[in-house]
Chains A and B, each alone.
Chain A
Amino acid sequence: MAERPEDLNLPNAVITRIIKEALPDGVNISKEARSAISRAASVFVLYATSCANNFAMKGKRKTLNAGDVLSAMEEMEFQRFVAPLKESLEVYRREQKGKKEARKDKDKKADSEEQDKSREEENDDDDERMEEEEPNEEEEVDN
């Protein structure tokens, strides 16, 4: 694993909230424990990505897709995640589709204005604020 610049960390506030909601009320979480879980989460992302990428390569694809991630979860012995992930994915896809429709309507009204093309998400703020999911219509393509 590379060094740990700030970018590879996840926002403290969000991590803390997820932990607090998972544990019974009134349980204290030491700062050290919280920081450790945050690091662990970053490592998890890297591990999952690497694993998913292996599946993509096996399928001779250059783009990681949903199936690769789900296969990675099984491989990593997190099968328990697969069902809830599939459920969430369905909701997410419906949401994205809904957003697309809404944008199409808006575009019709707004008179041919180029709003969102498929753009990289580089502009997103990287500080610890929570943010909405990005409405990306297409696959991300690396330049």
Chain B
Amino acid sequence: MAARLSGGENRLVSLPLSRIRVIMKSSPEVSSINQDALFLTAKATELFVQYLATYSYKHGRGKEKSALTYSDLSHTAEECETFQFLADILPKKILASKYLKMLEKEKRDGAVGGDDEDEEEEDDDEDESVEEDVGS
């Protein structure tokens, strides 16, 4: 059978190649993908998931509670250059009340807060302080 190069599974790669391929093909400029390239992308994605998780855990505050939290991840996206491409999809979160105060302040200062997207998170099982997404 395949050698175990990544921990846990006996198979060489766990992520389904067909799904990876769907994502890759959604990129408009891509015409075709060699099978080796597909495999490498899937494998790289697994390595990426591992790296993102361990890095965020190591550098985040969830460690104190033996947990990996959303804010550990968004912290990583903001602080670590390698993960900065994730900053837009992992925005920092603040209390809704703080955000409203920010808006009021901007209004007073004459600045126009144009690009606020009020997106509610569906799964909100973090502590109650997390309410609104704010694009950083």
Contact = CB atoms under 8 A, between A and B. Distances in A.
Contact of A33 (B20, B37, B69, B82): B69
B44 A23 contact: no
A41 B49 contact: yes
Nearest to B81: A77
Contacts, number: 243
B136 interface: no
A64 B37 contact: yes
A107 interface: no
Interface in A9-63: 10-11, 14-15, 17-19, 21-23, 26-33, 35-37, 39-50, 52-53, 57, 62-63
A130 interface: yes
Contact of B44 (A19, A29, A73): A73
Given A30-B70, A63-B32, A140-B32, A8 B26 contact: yes
Given A10-B19, A140-B35, A87 B5 contact: yes
A107 to B, nearest CB: 20
Interface in B45-78: 45-54, 57, 65-70, 72-74
- The majority secondary structure among interface residues of chain A is helix
Interface in B1-45: 2-3, 5-9, 11-24, 26-27, 29-41, 43-45
8 contacts: A7-B26, A15-B49, A23-B57, A30-B68, A43-B89, A44-B45, A77-B82, A78-B47
Sort A-B residue pairs by CB-CB distance and give the 3 closest, nearest first.
A124-B18, A22-B50, A66-B36
Interface of A: 2, 7-8, 10-11, 14-15, 17-19, 21-23, 26-33, 35-37, 39-50, 52-53, 57, 62-66, 68-70, 73, 76-78, 80-81, 84-85, 87-89, 91-93, 95-96, 121, 124-126, 129-134, 136, 138-142
